[in-house]
Amino acid sequence: MKSQLLIQQFLASRYFSEDQIKDLMHKYYTQECNYRDQIEICNKKLEVFGLQLIKGIDEISGEGLWVLCDIRRDSLTNLATNYSPLEITFLKIVIDSIITADDSKFSLSYHDAIRKHSLVGIQSFKQKEASAALLKFQADDWLTLSQTGHFRISTKTLIELNTYLSEIYKDELASCYLCSGLITIGFYCDNCSKSTHAICFNQLSKQTPPLPLCLDCGHALITPNCLIGSFDIEPFAPTKRET
């Protein structure tokens, strides 16, 4: 009965912070329960419905986020059911533009995103419609807008569309060798070819700027090729890159 009530909570909300997950487990079980063990039990029951609770990390704050994912239909078209076909097409275009941005910046300025409306290919979808759609994508947490006015792919999107994005953009997206999540802000070692989230690197490394070293092989991460994403929000100020 407890697990059924818990699953109902998961179905109702779908997105949970690490603290929210722990609070739910302690609410239905005990303060001493291993919440990860309980999640594993719940996931076995959720598999019947083609669902799984999957954890990712916020690439900026490092906070955990649990998302109830539909593992049977991991595509943008099936997930974005609240949008019109034109809005879905536009969202695909914006996500593609972010992932394929020059120099692996993984960001797109607001004005450049608006201009992508022409790629939808329908005259009725103009800048006004593009602006309204971008507001929806932000409100629904498909995209985030930085203080510098650049769109990035949200943590939710990276978790929910992990398989889809990994298959479509296998040459552009790397996985963190520490936590396995997709990376849009991090480091790539051009010596051992391993990549890490900047936040994972910072949490485990005791190094100080300006010379970060690969946690696996010790190689200096100083060339432009070693940076993944826009570092306007990272503490490694000497390695900042303009966006």
Which stretch of 54-63, 71-80, 102-111, 141-150 has the lowest confidence by average pLDDT? 71-80
> What is the C-alpha separation between 133 and 120, in angstroms, rounded?
12
Domain residue ranges in the chain: 2-70, 80-162, 174-238
CATH code at 80-162: 1.10.10.10
Cis peptide before 85, with omega less than 30 degrees from 0? no
What is the pLDDT at residue 210? 54
CATH code at 2-70: 3.90.1150.220
pLDDT tens-place string over residues 78-99 = 666 789 999 999 999 999 999 9
Supply the mean pLDDT for the chain.
87
Burial degree of 52 (CB within 10 A; 0-12, 13-18, 19+)? middle
> What is the C-alpha separation between 44 and 67, in angstroms, rounded?
15
Domain 174-238 annotated CATH 3.40.120? no
